[in-house]
Structures are given as C-alpha cells and as structure tokens.
Chains A and B, each alone.
Chain A
C-alpha cells in the first residue's frame, strides 16, 4: 500500500486529511517536523498564519526542499500551498521558496475570508484535476492567495474578486488552495490522483 506522510507542524487539524487519504487508498502516517526524513510522499496541510507556520516548519525546510528536489511527490493544502512561495504579505518571514512568487491578500471588494464552495477552472494539462472535473466545486477557507512569477505552474484557477491560482503543479510538487479533504467526491478523486502519483513514484 502506498505510504503517505502528513507533516504535523501545529497548523490546524489533521483529522479530516488523515481520514480522506485513507479513503483514497493510502496508508497514512503523521510525522512531526523533527521526524521528517525520507518518505514516499508528503502532504503539507495547514490552517492559520503564514508567519507562525514558517516558524514551526523552519527546522524541516531544507529537508522538505531536498525531498522535492529528489522527486518525492509533495502536496501542499491551503496554508500548505502558501508557505511553498517565496514570501507573503501576511508576514515578513521567508517562505520555502519552492514556487517563486509572493502570497497576497484577496481584494477588499469581496468578503474575506473566502469561505465556501467555489469552482476550479482547469487551465492546462493537470495531474490533480482531470478534464472530467473541469469547473468542479471545491471547498475554500482562506484570505490570501499565491501569485507565482511563472504562471505556467498554475493548472487550476478560481474567481473570487480576482482570478487566482487554486491548483499549482510543478515537477513533483502539487498544491491546492482549497481543501480536497472537505470537497466531497471531486476532492476525493483529486486525492486519489495524488495517491496514484505517489504510488508510481514509489514503484
């Protein structure tokens, strides 16, 4: 069975993502920042503040970059997507810088946080979002969005005040601004695709 590690860095609840990955066919273990070394695939979840998250994750930053460089599939979810960027308007800390660009606040013209079900438009070839799931609804809870320098990493987009990247994929790195573990059948299918990628990488 494909083993997926979930990084526990004290940024929110791991209950749902753990259950969801199990349903998607993975064997799941939760690892702390100190204990993260080798793994077949890594999920970086997260709810909360950019600065606080970076502070907690800092001891493992080089190891996470190392995993990504060596082709281990990594999935960032919500704040787990944002900390992959170089920097954020939410705080002065430097991000993991695996995706070049800055995390910015949603415009004041819309209600913040963006909470609820919104659509994801498929921008190009995507592993996480099948053509059949183009325009599907996913569940969002966030106030900030990633703004990558190289827009070719964006595979899914969502409209809320602005058009922002809701799925990012580059190399073995995958990230969603929404919560696939809370997104019903479409979210389940997305996680299954990530688990499949993890399985192929591990084979």
Chain B
C-alpha cells in the first residue's frame, strides 16, 4: 500500500515562456513549456505542474493553447493553475488537457470555490496552492512567536491567514491535495522548509506537495523523511539541468525511498 513519493517539476509560465525567480521576484527566462514538459516526462517526472503567472487576463486563450500543446506530449498527470477563479475556468483547463487544477488567490478570496470545483469534477481534481512566508506573530503573547502567513497574488499580498489553518480549511472544503510553497525558501536552493512542511503534513490527511528551496538530491530525501511530504516540487534545479530528475530519483531509490524508477 505504499504509494510512490512523487518528484514534480514545475513550469512557471509568463506569456508562454517558462521563467524562474528567486523569492518570487527577479524572473529569468528558463525555456519553452512544451520542450521542458516533454523532456521532464521522458526523464521520469511523476507529474508536471504548470503555473501560469501572466499578470494580464488578456492572455487567457493563449494559456489554454499552450496548456493543450504541453498536454498533448505528456503521459503523466498534468496539473495546471494560475488565475482560476470559477468552475468554468477549471473546466476550460481540464478540457484543454489538464488532469487537476490548482487554485490560490481566488480560493482565499472566496473559499467556497474549493467546494464548487471539487463537487463539479471530484476532489482529485483540486489542488489548493498555498504560498506562505514566516513572520513574527504580533498577536501572540509569546515572545518571538512565528507563524507562516498565507500570501496571495503571486506572493505580493499578505492575508493574515495562518497556513496551517488554511490548509485544514481547504481540506474540509474538498481540496484533494495541498501544494505548499515556502516563499522564504523559493529559488534559494538551500533546501525545503522542513518544519513548515512537516507541520502541514501532520495537520491534513490529503497529500502535501512540498515546494520551494530544492537545491540537491539530499534536500528531496530530507523533505520526504523529515518533512513527511508525499511529493516534492522543484523548478530551477531541473530547468538548468543541475540535477536531472532521473539522478534525483536514483539517489532516493538507493536511500530506500519508494520512488518510481
């Protein structure tokens, strides 16, 4: 009954181009989504995540076209997000070839959206994406009490929400998975946020995808063993071919982690 731990490359796409930043800013060109998607599925990715970060909504049709192109080359599960605000948005992505959709900002603004999409297409279709950043809890009586605050709008807007509470609420509303991104670690290649991942994994029963900070194969091992993650997502480390997916999986396999090799 052991499910394989999943290794998930992520494409952040801006106007049809894959980009990658550090701590959510300083975006740099990293490749073509179709080429990268195909390469990753051949290298043994267990799933592909595609997050559209195009700011303008003028590009909605272009997004569907690109998603379709990427999907047509894939033989692994395909998760797509970015700007999903309604059941209809989710439906268009699913029809364009996505298997699951991620929701983020719109879910914080209107939590019932999680329930609506989950009822329309099943909870296995709904991934709640949470971007979180640690900060001092001014409201706590304890000195130096830290909590992980949920951010929306691609990391620009603090919400005051505690990531643990939000993950739990998302699960109750019907999210089938949590995609947890540590903004503090994102793009730094210094390793995943183990504490935060472990806390969220222990709070919800649905699978948790850890994201942000992957820099070496050992980071993946750590987030599975100590962060209790079900899947680990990374971008930079794969885009620039620093560690191909296959080598990360071989490393994990030899360390006794159940991975699909």
Contacts and interface: CB of A to CB of B under 8 A. Distances in A.
Pair from one complex: yes
Interface of A: 13, 15-16, 19-20, 23, 47-48, 110-111, 113-118, 137, 139, 141, 159-161, 181-185, 187-188
Given A137-B260, A139-B76, A182-B77, A116 B3 contact: yes
Contact of A183 (B71, B75, B124, B177): B75
B207 A115 contact: yes
Given A116-B4, A118-B4, A184-B41, A23 B124 contact: no
24 contacts: A13-B95, A15-B72, A15-B97, A16-B74, A16-B99, A19-B72, A20-B75, A110-B1, A111-B205, A113-B122, A113-B123, A114-B3, A115-B3, A115-B207, A116-B3, A116-B6, A117-B4, A117-B46, A118-B3, A118-B4, A139-B77, A159-B1, A182-B99, A184-B75
A96 B2 CA distance: 32
A94 B87 CA distance: 31
Contacts of B260: 117, 137, 184
Contacts, number: 72
Contacts of B4: 116-118, 137
A26 B205 CA distance: 41
B155 interface: no
B124 A141 contact: yes
Nearest to A181: B75
B196 interface: no
Contacts of B124: 113, 115, 141
A47 B176 CA distance: 15
A110 B77 CA distance: 22
Interface residues of B, number: 29
B44 interface: yes
Interface of B: 1-4, 6, 41, 44, 46, 71-72, 74-77, 94-97, 99, 122-124, 176-177, 205-207, 230, 260
Given A48-B122, A116-B4, A137-B4, A188 B75 contact: yes
A47 to B, nearest CB: 7
A102 to B, nearest CB: 22
Contacts of B176: 113, 115
B239 to A, nearest CB: 21
A114 B46 CA distance: 16
Given A184-B41, A184-B76, A117 B6 contact: yes
A184 B44 contact: yes
Nearest to A13: B94
A159 B258 CA distance: 14
A18 B184 CA distance: 41
